[in-house]
Structure 1
Amino acid sequence: MIRKIRIAAARSVSDSPIVETSWASHIRLKSRFLKIANIDDRAGACAIDPFPPSRAGSAESSGAAALGAAYTSVVSSTGPETEVGLPPLRAEQVPAEPAGPSSGARILRLDRIRHAFVALEERDFRIFWLGQMVSVTGLWMHTVAQGWLVLVLTGSPFLLGVAAAARSLPVLLLAIPSGFVADRYDRRWILLGTTTTSMLVTGVLGILTVADAVDVSMVISGAAILGVSNALELPARHGYVADLAGPRNLANAIALNSLLFNSARVVGPSIAGILVALVGPGWAFIVNAVSFSPLIVGLLLIQRVHVPRAGIAARDALPELVRYLRREPRVAALLALLASQTIFASGHFILGPSLAVELGQRAEGLGVMLSAAGLGAVAGGLRLAATSDRAQRWTLLLTAGLALAFGLVGVWVSQSYALALGFLVIAGWGAVTFNASSNTIIQTIVPDRLRGRIMSLYAVVLLGLMPFAGLLLGSIADRFSSTIALGLGGLAYGLTIVAGFALVPALRRV
């Protein structure tokens, strides 16, 4: 039983009255009380343990009651002497703060904003993130320009799928080798090589297009070379983000990368739509080539060096990966659901130009459509960057997957450009929330020695399966329409999401 506390209060040095304190001042006063109360009083007063060891119910509640009463007397006292020995606070001891509860809410809002960008406090990650900002915008410009150029040259939705497949197939074929390379060699130099290659290929394609010397075979060949570059770049980039941000800021760094990618998804297609309409797709390719420059400079400025892991034998890379996936069903199940998203729910990317034409739009309308999906994705990225709550992550994944399916079905049912924009915002939010959350969970779970190989599989399910998605959705669009292809894909994806969470209990423990 904690004895009643009676400590003679020290008188204030000055006669200034006790100041009314705000919410933040009360918190400081309470902390001060607990600190003093936990120290033996050498003048003969009893020592207090504000959090005593657990004992029988009445004693514990009595101790808590005594502590609460003592603190209340400190806060509510208005005279120079108090029941508990804390000298009154003078006016100059209390920082000036706006009165009212709004100051506390403002502090919380500012803290949340700071938390949303905490990974940028790391110098090297900040340089890498800023270097990607321009480059990723150019990437989205290239995506729009390539699709529109193929449609103008051929008029075939099927060949749109073929062009997308040419860029994605190398990611599938080179998955395990590229993951091994990312684990075994310096990731920064891998990124420098792939970025330089992409800049040169894109620049040549732009010059050929501006000179009116391009045909569809050149576009598809260029897409295939860029696909090889992407196959090597993706696992290295995902692993390099973890290297630069560190374990403490990894989740925030992944969310910021997703936010960057999807913010560019809003800006890039809009710029590309205007450029294509005014001067043609060739200049969009050239602008994309120039956009790689800041990333190359940033990679050269980064000081932190990735230390490659020695002792990884090429013949052991795949067996070790398979054994890990068998032991860790959460990672395997998330990769399977991401694969179903690519195959069934990526029609708004693959068939974007054809979809825009069906809805009565031109290149500008295509840019706005992709930007609408990007706007929803930005909202999802901001939400993920600002939160640190890891509870009930599986419900967020389930909600996001169903939102993506709902958005695609909505585009099919609406048959309206204006309504389609709203449904694409929903689909964009669902896609990025599911992808970024899955990325965070996977990178949090996997050991560093396997990170490159696991992230190469992540790249496979997001990009390497695009050939199958392009052929499947392109065939449906050729036979029926692009909106029907989107809707049927959305229905199939929604069913796989529900089945996955119902049949794999491990997904409810992520």
Structure 2
Amino acid sequence: MTSTRQEPAQGYLPVFASLSVRNYRHYFIGALVSNNGTWMQRIAQDWLVYTLTGSGLAVGITMAMQFGPMLVLGLYGGVLADRYPQRRILLLTQMAMMLLAGLLATVTFLNFVTVEWVYIIALLFGIVTALDNPARQSFVGVMVPPRLLPNAVALNSGNFNLARLSGPAVAGLLIASAGVAWAFLFNALSFLPMLYALATLDSSGFEEVPRTGRGARAFREGLSYVAGHPRILVTIILVFFIGTFGFNFPIILTAYAAKVFDGGSALYGILNSMMAVGSVLGAILTARRESVTPARMITMSASFAAGLIVLSLIGWLPAFMVVLVIAGLAGVSFNTMANASVQIEADPAVRGRVMSLYFVVMMGTTPLGSLFTGWVTDSYGAPAALMVSGGICLAAAAGCSYAFHRLGLRPAETV
């Protein structure tokens, strides 16, 4: 079935509209299981590193190792996603991730694990993720028609954050009762449903997407396309600041759980889950909209930044948890809107390369933000890290709001 790029109509959709598409429904279920395993491993990995070293900076280095390859390979991953069938790429990357999770589980069970082992495996995960992410993001536009794309992107976000709600809580309890190795093993096994879903999708139901050429020319075409589309460019600039300085919660929450609130791994899992509650709510609210406006994106990014600042001023755990929910709602609402607006605006022929740039600036710059946040956390404390991160994000939201107005992209204009 061939489709052309369409501007979304104003209005509302049923929250789960995209699940009416068989291929997307099967993919969604497989991803839900896999995402739970991913979040369990993230929590277990961060806690293992903190236990081995006692350093927030070491947790930051682990994140830098895992997300750093996105800076180097992310755009190349976009070229691959536009040239080759995304499903084929995903089958290979998901199998590679399963093997890496199994390796980390094995060395941990055998008591061979050191922080160097974690760094190496995190780096390998990062390399595979750099090739996986552009294909996974652009694959959504292959499974659903253009009208359902914002809804599918929001449901993907809800899926990821629903797992973020359950995964950290289960991981925290599992670590406390049985050890981190079991969380790594669960993650390895969680890739099996996703691999089965990918292998059994009906390709006759895919949207037709033109394939691009190879090499440096395709790479340059993607960058030129973004540079020539101000809606996409300003959105990606805002994503850079929010992703680099705002989405480094694992580092800060680790320190909050251990030092500010004198808790352990179970509390760390609970704090992540509280933020995930808001994230799921944000994804559900966003899923009902057929359109995205710059005004909504700016509002949500500024609300997220304000939430970080408020959190830095709170020392009472129940109130901290409540504001975590609000910050999670605003953060995921912004991320979902930005993702959907970029995918809608991008021509299908370059969508993989555009989304690779999107994730380079959101995830590939995480090493810079994680090292900075880890240093602030170790030097001045977790509340100071939240205050600084929130201030940078709030300034970025104000600057991009001004840019939207200067470009004539008024808040009421639908992207």
Which range, TM-score by smaller chain? over 0.9
- CA shift for structure 1 position 477: 1.0
- CA shift for structure 1 position 396: 1.6
Q: Is the 8 A contact 2:278 2:325 kept in 1?
A: yes
Specify the SS of the correspondent of 1:214. coil
- CA shift for structure 1 position 308: 6.8
Aligned match of 1:384: 286
Question: Is 1:131 matched with 2:37?
Answer: no
CA distance in 1, matches of 2:188, 2:307: 33
Question: Is 1:203 matched with 2:102?
Answer: yes
- CA shift for structure 1 position 309: 4.0
- CA shift for structure 1 position 471: 1.0
Matches within 5 A, 1:214-229: 214-229=113-128
Aligned match of 1:282: 181
Aligned match of 2:8: none
- CA shift for structure 1 position 313: 3.2
Aligned match of 2:264: 362
Aligned match of 2:52: 153
Matches within 5 A, 1:334-483: 334-358=235-259, 359-388=261-290, 390=291, 393-483=293-383
**Matched residue type, 2:168:** P
Q: Is the 8 A contact 1:161 1:351 kept in 2?
A: no
- CA shift for structure 1 position 171: 1.0
Question: Is 1:184 matched with 2:70?
Answer: no
Runs of 5+ unmatched residues, structure 1: 1-110
Specify the SS of the correspondent of 1:414. coil
Structure with max Cα Rg: 1
Specify the SS of the correspondent of 2:213. coil
- CA shift for structure 1 position 241: 0.8
Distance change >3 Å, CA 328–CA 274, structure 1 → 2: same
Q: Deviations over 1:172-200 (max 9, x none)?
A: 11022110000001111110111011111
Greater RCO, CA 8 A, separation 6+: 2
Q: Which moved more, 1:338-347 or 1:348-357?
A: 348-357
Aligned match of 1:324: 225
- CA shift for structure 1 position 343: 1.8
CA distance in 2, matches of 1:363, 1:246: 42
- CA shift for structure 1 position 384: 1.1
CA distance in 2, matches of 1:364, 1:278: 10
Runs of 5+ unmatched residues, structure 2: 1-10
CA distance in 2, matches of 1:177, 1:346: 24
Aligned match of 2:4: none
Q: Deviations over 1:23-75 (max 9, x none)?
A: xxxxxxxxxxxxxxxxxxxxxxxxxxxxxxxxxxxxxxxxxxxxxxxxxxxxx
Q: Is the 8 A contact 1:116 1:385 kept in 2?
A: yes
CA distance in 2, matches of 1:434, 1:470: 20
Question: Is 1:142 matched with 2:44?
Answer: no
Q: Percent identity?
A: 32
Q: Which moved more, 1:341-350 or 1:177-186?
A: 341-350
Structure (1 or 2) with the greater helix fraction: 2
Distance change >3 Å, CA 254–CA 310, structure 1 → 2: closer
Q: Is the 8 A contact 2:169 2:273 kept in 1?
A: yes
Q: Is the 8 A contact 1:263 1:374 kept in 2?
A: yes
Runs of 4+ in structure 1 deviating by more than 6 angstroms, as ranges, are: 305-308
Q: Deviations over 1:402-423 (max 9, x none)?
A: 2111211122101222221112
CA distance in 1, matches of 2:212, 2:258: 54
CA distance in 2, matches of 1:211, 1:118: 46
- CA shift for structure 1 position 460: 1.0
Query: Which residue, 215, 231, 236 being the options, matches 2:135?
Result: 236
Q: Is the 8 A contact 1:185 1:309 kept in 2?
A: no
CA distance in 1, matches of 2:154, 2:247: 21
- CA shift for structure 1 position 310: 4.3
Question: Is 1:256 matched with 2:155?
Answer: yes
Q: Is the 8 A contact 1:148 1:363 kept in 2?
A: yes
Aligned match of 1:295: 194
Aligned match of 1:16: none
Count how many residue pairs are aligned between Structure 1 and Structure 2: 397
Q: Is the 8 A contact 1:184 1:308 kept in 2?
A: no
CA distance in 2, matches of 1:235, 1:311: 14
CA distance in 1, matches of 2:243, 2:256: 18
Aligned match of 2:5: none
Relative to the length of structure 2, the TM-score reads 0.92
